[in-house]
Amino acid sequence: MVDTALLKELAEVFSPEAKLYAVGGFCRDVLLGVAPRDLDICSKLKVEDVKTLLKSSGFVVSDKCLRLGTVIVRRGNFRAEYTTFRTDSYPENSGMHAPSSVVFTDDIEADSARRDFCCNAVYYDVTADLFVDPRGGVDDIRKRVLRAADIPGKVFGEDGLRVLRMVRFAAELGFDVEENTYLAAKENARLVLDIKKERIFEELDKIFKADTAYPALNAEGHCKGLLMLDDLGLVDVLLPELAALKGLEQSAKYHVYDAYRHSLEAYRVSSPEIRWAALLHDVGKRIAVDLQGNMHGHDSLGAEAVRTRLAELGMPPSRMKRVAELVACHMVDLKGDMSENKLRRFIVAHSAVMKDLIALKYADCRATTGHDAENLRIDRLYREMRTDGTPFSLADLPVDGNDAERAGLKGKAVGEALKLLFDEAVVNPSLRDRARATEFLLRRAKAGE
């Protein structure tokens, strides 16, 4: 939430040196009737002048990108990104995102021309409490349409990131895209490859949870975003293993969709936390078919492909490993015939992802049959294990290293005995009792004499 009282106070500090404007998302959100989530501000003042002006005001200024005339202004929980009015120049059709040259200006009209979409080129004069609209963005917001702020081919040719931003805004806000804007985005879609991989991942991640940004505006935003990515050709470019599933038929005995549509359905019905895994859980099927003519082992093949692809997209390693683990495990106990002891040990070994894995399996089932699944066996057993005293780590055992040493174990034998006890206690309820666990340690010590 934006503290508008502090925003007005900040504008008073700027006056009479310059008018302070809020711009972009803040204006768009206010006009849409939703609470603004972040704040970009601007004026004709260069950052050196802003630093001087705010020196004893209570607002703190920190550098962000001085070449672009950008600093961060803070006070308590208040945070705004300030940028001086400017014009940008880019090498033609580079898609490089960062402008090669910047010229600061006093002209708000010139500043508006460098922005991506007209709905993001609306300014709010904080002191006068009125909107300034050089490009007709207010009307676009009312009509819920995205339109390039300049010649569409120029807008996207300058910055490949704008293609992904277009998809994200359309997905989050439920906006349509003006025809010429969309066609230019499609023509320049491959320029996304000129962007740093971390920026690509950041935008994709937001698109995949677009329904959470403004739920009242677009409850199925994540679906709209993915379909747009596909139509623009970006699924083929950014997620080729997923695109390879198109037209891959599956057994009609178990599936109502081909492998690609099945993946999209699993993604559609899944929660934001598991969307990446839901979308990519079956990418190993095409790999398996190409290798061996069938889909056996597609879970492990898919997990390896997911690790590689997500690393290339810039997903943080911890998240990448988690998604890959979910993909690798999504077929476990598919028919419900794994021995209970083996399944118990599997649940403990993968306890860190178990809730997400169960959610993924439900989404997979829904996307396979078109109907919700009944309680899965792995779900029932996991819930039982969380309440029946099953240890999920060595710390959950009724004994510890001190008990092992008192039983007569020494050195590495202590850890070995506790690990063995832990493995057995997962499947043997009697060893969750302190007395029985102590007897187990005593027997181990005696056997080692």
pLDDT of residue 250: 86
pLDDT of residue 403: 97
- DSSP letter (8 states) at residue 1: -
In the numeric block, which tokens belong to residue 298?
Answer: 């597609």
The reply to whether omega before 16 is within 30° of 0 (cis) is: yes
Contact 44, 17 (CB under 8 A): no
Q: How many Cβ atoms sit within 10 Å of the Cβ of residue 84?
A: 23
DSSP bridge partners of 159: 96
Q: How far apart are CA 63 and CA 61, in angstroms?
A: 7
Taking the model in full, what pTM does it have? 0.92
Q: Which of 62, 59, 51, 54 is nearest to 78 (CA)?
A: 59
pLDDT of residue 32: 96
pLDDT of residue 297: 96
DSSP bridge partners of 70: 65, 83
Q: How far apart are CA 437 and CA 449, in angstroms?
A: 19
Tens-binned pLDDT, residue by residue, of the chain (449 aa)? 789 999 999 999 999 899 999 999 999 999 999 989 899 999 999 999 999 999 989 999 999 988 899 999 999 999 999 999 999 866 665 555 666 678 999 999 999 999 999 999 999 999 999 999 999 999 999 999 999 999 999 999 989 999 999 999 999 999 999 999 999 999 999 999 999 999 999 999 999 999 999 998 988 999 999 999 999 999 999 999 999 999 998 887 778 889 999 999 999 999 999 999 999 999 999 999 999 999 999 999 999 999 999 999 999 999 999 999 999 999 999 888 999 999 999 999 999 999 999 999 999 999 988 778 788 999 999 999 999 999 999 999 999 999 999 999 999 999 999 999 999 999 999 999 999 999 999 999 988 76
